Structure 1
């Protein structure tokens, strides 16, 4: 039985990921914002102290959108702190133990925004690019060991966060927000949380030891 920690694991994508690992027989610690502030260095250090984590899933994340000229420094910092620094802090906390045991899986839930840019998402896109870059750097450090670091990059997933995006589209344009997002994907639909959970489970599998430093894109073929 492996110990799996899923940040942002109490709802949406994180809840689906936690459920998949539980169904596989793993012991899962799913933490939400009320349990752990991933941007707080001392809180992260204390949370992981003495914990032998076999799989870390960095899923905690936030998003907001605005034209660059209307993006505040506070918005920028909050997204960089959660989506990038949070990944850094949690990964740093578990990596020494994994290295000592020569075994471990780190999977970061990034976004297609970590590979390509789109308007009105400067802070979010920058933070997800940072998360992907960190993943590649960690992968280079652990190459040739029993530890791997990879990322999944989904498009719009059917979550509360996406529902808020849908609401804003409908408020501003009067159009069907979900249909507008679906048109942006080759799939012609939103991605389900269970599909992201499958990808995370795949990269975290014991048999996935040869997969390291990769970004698995989940958007039906839009971003290569």
Structure 2
């Protein structure tokens, strides 16, 4: 595992639970000062009490004004060296029942939330000639899935943004990458499992197996596996890795 630079400040959006919390905890263990950002103050405080973060700020990533204010608050303590743009949500529906409002919600949270966060931290990173930006996308950013066309479109947009921005930043010592987990054992996927059970009458075990079938290893990914990949991308040894969308999916991609 490549080491982090000395005492960096990392901001993790959606850092109160699931993949975000696992990433935050891994960064703390590696020696970073970690601020978690999310909509639920109680969840963020729980992460701090558990030792998975040092500080918390509350904002909805789809609200650019609120997000900018929260990131400014976090930056007062120490400039942000590492951004993990993890916050996201998923809704499923057949395309013919996916109205404009659904597409807007998926784009606002999963794509524009990444755009807003990067805009807030990038000028400082450029001024200091150092930064690590990692967007948590999805295998849905690399392939299609039925019944989640809006979510998939948003995640494809994230991967496109990462690839383009990495080229713009290539001479600045700011790297921009994405990790693309397959179905991961989190609250978000738990919602998908409940949805499958409700719509199909399958048992929980059958619903999990329905999701795990996409992974050639026949299982769900763990949040820690995603966190380990992110930690490597943030390390000093990954300075030449930029513009990548790394699948963490047991060979699915």
TM-score for both structures, normalised by structure 1 = 0.97
Q: Are 1:221 and 2:227 an aligned pair?
A: no
Q: Are 1:103 and 2:109 an aligned pair?
A: no
Match of 2:230 in 1: 200
- Spell out, residue by residue over 1:27-46, the C-alpha distance to the aligned partner (whole angstroms, 9 max, x if none): 00011123111111211222
1:75-86 aligned within 5 A: 75-86=102-113
What displacement does 1:168 show?
1.2
CA distance in structure 2 between the partners assigned to 1:163 and 1:41 by the alignment: 28
Q: Are 1:89 and 2:116 an aligned pair?
A: yes
Residue-pair matches, total: 223
Q: Are 1:73 and 2:100 an aligned pair?
A: yes
> Once superposed, which parts of structure 1, at least 4 consecutive aligned residues long, lie more than 4 Å away?
none
TM-score for both structures, normalised by structure 2 = 0.86
Q: Are 1:40 and 2:63 an aligned pair?
A: yes
CA distance in structure 2 between the partners assigned to 1:171 and 1:40 by the alignment: 32
171, 178, 190: which one aligns with 2:208: 178
What displacement does 1:19 show?
0.4
What displacement does 1:127 show?
0.4
What displacement does 1:141 show?
0.8
- Spell out, residue by residue over 1:139-178, the C-alpha distance to the aligned partner (whole angstroms, 9 max, x if none): 0110122110000001000001101111111222223110
41-50 or 169-178, which deviates more: 41-50
Match of 1:191 in 2: 221
For the residue of structure 1 that corresponds to 2:189, the secondary structure is helix
CA distance in structure 2 between the partners assigned to 1:185 and 1:170 by the alignment: 20
Match of 2:12 in 1: 6
Match of 1:58 in 2: 85
For the residue of structure 2 that corresponds to 1:117, the secondary structure is coil
Unaligned runs of 5+ in 2: 1-6, 41-57
What displacement does 1:184 show?
1.6
Match of 1:116 in 2: 143
CA distance in structure 2 between the partners assigned to 1:80 and 1:57 by the alignment: 18
What displacement does 1:48 show?
2.2
